Every structure is written in C-alpha cells, then in structure tokens.
Amino acid sequence: MTEIAHSTPDDIAVMTDRAREVVRLNIEALEALERSIDVSMARAVDVIMSRPGYVVVTGMGKSGHIGGKIAATLASTGTNAFFVHPAEMSHGDLGMLRPDVTVLAISNSGESRELRDPLIYCQRNGIPVIAITQRPASFLGRNAAVCLTMPKVAEACPNGLAPTTSTLMTLALGDALAMVLMDRREFTAMDFGLHHPGGALGMSLQSVREWMGDNAAVPASVPLNASFGDVVSAITEGRKGAVAVLDADGVLAGIVTDGDLRRAFQRDTTHLTAADIMGANPITVDPDARMSDVVDLLTANKIANLFVVEDGKPTAIVHIAELMQAGYVA
C-alpha cells in the first residue's frame, strides 16, 4: 500500500482557505441569481403548464449533467420530463420532439454547436424553447420563447474554465422552476409518493391502507365486560402488546396494553373487566393517512402501538417494533 504523504500545517491552511473561498464564491453566485429572477420565471411556468406534452431537457457537457438532474426533479414532482443528449438529437432522436412538447435547453454560453440542430428543428415545428443561459443575445437566447438568464459571475476555477459557479446556478434555477411548477400543480406528498415508492422516503409516504395490504390481520379485541383473564388471553394471543376494547356495536371504546395489565396486577383483579383497566379514547389513525403520520403519532405520544380505525371500528394495529423492523423508523 502506498504511503500517504501528509500535508504540512501551512499547506493545510492554504487548502482550507481556498475551499472556503470556493464556497463563498458559490454563495455569492446564488445570491446574485436570487436577485436576477424576474417575470421570465412565471412566463416559463405558463409555457410548460399550457403544453400537454413532456418537457424535454437538453444540454451539452456539464450543462447536460445538470440537465439530467433537472429532468429527474421535474419528473418526480409532477412535471413529465426526460433528458435527451443534443448530439443524439442530430442523429435521429429529434423524432422524440413531438409537437406538444416543451424543450428546456441549457448552455452557459448559449453557443453550444450541438444545440443548433435541435433549436432550428424547434423553430421550424413551432416547439417552444425555454433557455437557461448567461447570454440572452446568444444563438440559444435568440431562439428561445423564454430566456431564464443567469447573472455573469466569476467561476471558482482559477483559470475561469471549469464550470463551477455557473453549474451551481443552473442547478438552482432548475430546482426553482421545478418547485414553482410543483406549487402550481398543487402536487402533494401523496402524489410524490406515487412517483417515489422505493427506499425509506417511499415507505414513509406509503398510505396506511397500502401498509395494511401486508398486515391485514384484524386486531385482537374483547368486549367492555370481558374478564381480566380474558383480556390477558387476548393480548397474549394477539402478540401485539395491546387489545382493542369494543362496545356492543363493535366500535372502538378503548385499548388495554401490556402496561395497563402490569398496573392492574397491583390491584385485586378478581372482578376487574376490560372497561375498568382500559385507556379510553385511544389514539387512532385513518387508513388513508401516510405512514409518516403514524410514526409521528407514535413518537410524539410515546406509545408503542395504535389502531387503524375505519367507521369507528379497528381494522388493524400498528406496533412500532414492526415499523422499525420494516425500516419505517430509523
């Protein structure tokens, strides 16, 4: 294994200062971008909202990498979008540009040669182009229906060549466009969950009803007048650490937990019934709530389980240990 040569204290100080300088330049670039945002953002949103087709994002080099992320953000937040490499468009992929699409073209200089063919095609076929560039008078800017113009700021690269502050501004502007569109579409967390079913985020946005598909067992229950022994047996058989107490109509009246049983053993249990030891008005959740809401209820109230209730009747029981095992709770 090659031995690592450690930097001197002076070198460390120089590198740390340089890193901070780059971050500071990026912050200043974002502040300049914030000040530059004007009516063109609203115009871009209006164009996209008025078009039934996809937003086709394109860009060359670093702009293309940023464009791929912008397309992914748009797609996951309610605006159908995908990325197409501009060079591929010149070799057949222009066929992806249907008459109802909107093109979001990214080029810091606005003069990327690879964008010329797609831009000319859009002009000939009446496809509106939204440009992200620093130069509105460029070929891209002149051929755009709307130009989202970024301020001219110095790159963090000492040679002024490697895209740094410019790509950060492009990414921020794309995020801003996606979020404004998301607001205009009234795109909800549940909508987001439909587009993002995987991972911990997807699980947290899953509805309780969807969770119940894999956990559909009806919770253990006893009537109000059930004996103490019957309550103990029901909790043991249910294996959830709690039992639902139901009135004569099958409506949830209360809950008896393991903790309630332990406290009851300090009394004479001979004549105790479920009504005597239950907790009335237990915390419940609707089947259409998000699983993240369930986790919030459990943690905020410091309880281990709660019932899913529909029309007043318990249809499932959620235990925090199950959620931890499934990955809903870290």
Residue 199: per-residue pLDDT: 58
CA distance 81 to 198: 20
Residue 83: phi and psi, rounded to 5, are: -105, 140
Residue 249 burial by CB count (10 A; 0-12/13-18/19+): exposed, middle or buried? exposed
Residue 198: per-residue pLDDT: 58
Residue 293: per-residue pLDDT: 86
Structure pTM?
A: 0.68
**pLDDT profile of the chain (330 residues), mean per 10:** 85 95 96 97 97 95 95 92 92 88 96 94 96 97 97 90 93 97 85 62 73 75 93 89 92 91 88 92 89 86 89 89 72
Residue 114: per-residue pLDDT: 93
What domains does the chain contain, in order, with CATH numbers?
9-187 (3.40.50.10490), 205-326 (3.10.580.10)
Amino acid found at 129: V
Residue 58: per-residue pLDDT: 96
